[in-house]
Chain A
């Protein structure tokens, strides 16, 4: 059983609590800043029309079991007719959704703003943590980890005999980064916190070509 270190109360008062408080406050600040900076663009009539047509087609697909087969087929032909079907797009002309997204300058600007507003506070806070809070044991995580995590978690501590459970403040920062997502979704409402993971998934999903 490893030795139990006794840590100074001052570490708790001046490292753990301020770091968490600062991260919560930065998250709240980021939420309000992004709300203020969100540029409200007037919706384009063509885009709205297309969206409504797609919505109607989706309802048709979902409720297809409730209407007679003949009327379903006639509605389907209305949408996908070769000459004047509303949703028919000739092969090869379909624009890749990602290309479309980047050619629309407003959308690209919005995304860049959101990305920046996510990255900049994280980078700044990380630099602040590294500068002020390095070189000492900050916390003890209550579960044991293998020796391989030592390099990652005990970054400023140069003793190799200290138990891996005693971590530096950099790992406390990362723990806060991931753990406060849930708290943000509670206090800021409606999943506004850390949308970037979802958006990253969306961006990776846009690679497919709809014309194939």
Chain B
């Protein structure tokens, strides 16, 4: 995860509306994207090895994503506006992008371990 200590995105004058440093915001969003992708891949392999099938696997995926969101929020010390421009960035962004990678690695691991 990127060091978020010195990556505050909104700063400057504290009147409303807050302005955002676009570069830092972009870098934060990128780090969220990377961690979600990585976690989908690892989650897919785990789901395959444990032999989840059907709905259980998808529930596992959303659990992993929720844990990731919680971890990201905790890393941002729960003050989202310091690092991002909206709550949706942490919670919803990139979930469906990671779904395809999850399914691929889930299928792969499941087949290698259970079918072959």
Contact = CB atoms under 8 A, between A and B. Distances in A.
Interface of A: 5-9, 11-12, 16, 20, 62-63, 65-66, 139-144, 172, 175-176, 178-183, 185-186, 190
Residue in B15, B34, B47 with the greatest tally of chain A CB atoms within 10 Å: B34
A62 B19 contact: yes
9 contacts: A62-B19, A140-B111, A142-B106, A142-B107, A143-B55, A143-B57, A178-B100, A182-B100, A183-B41
Contacts of A142: 47-48, 52-54, 57, 106-107, 110
Contacts of A5: 115
Contacts of B98: 182
Contacts of A139: 107, 111, 115
Contacts of A179: 100-105
B112 interface: yes
B33 interface: yes
Nearest to A167: B107
Interface string B14-58: 011101000000000010011001101100000110001111011
Contacts, number: 82
Residue in B57, B105, B108, B115 with the greatest tally of chain A CB atoms within 10 Å: B115
Interface of B: 13, 15-17, 19, 30, 33-34, 37-38, 40-41, 47-48, 52-55, 57-58, 97-98, 100-108, 110-112, 115-116
Contacts of B110: 140, 142
A11 B115 CA distance: 11
Secondary structure of the A contact surface, majority rule: helix
A20 B108 contact: yes
Contacts of A143: 53-55, 57-58
B91 to A, nearest CB: 19
B40 A182 contact: yes
Residue in A5, A65, A143, A186 with the greatest tally of chain B CB atoms within 10 Å: A143
Closest 10 CB pairs of A and B: A179-B104, A182-B101, A182-B37, A12-B116, A178-B100, A142-B110, A142-B53, A179-B100, A143-B54, A179-B101
Nearest to A138: B111
Nearest to B30: A190
Given A143-B53, A179-B102, A182-B37, 7 more contacts: A7-B116, A9-B116, A142-B53, A179-B100, A181-B97, A182-B97, A186-B34
Contacts of A7: 115-116
Nearest to A143: B54
B13 to A, nearest CB: 6
Contacts of A190: 30
A139 to B, nearest CB: 5
A63 B19 CA distance: 7
Contact of B104 (A8, A63, A66, A180): A180
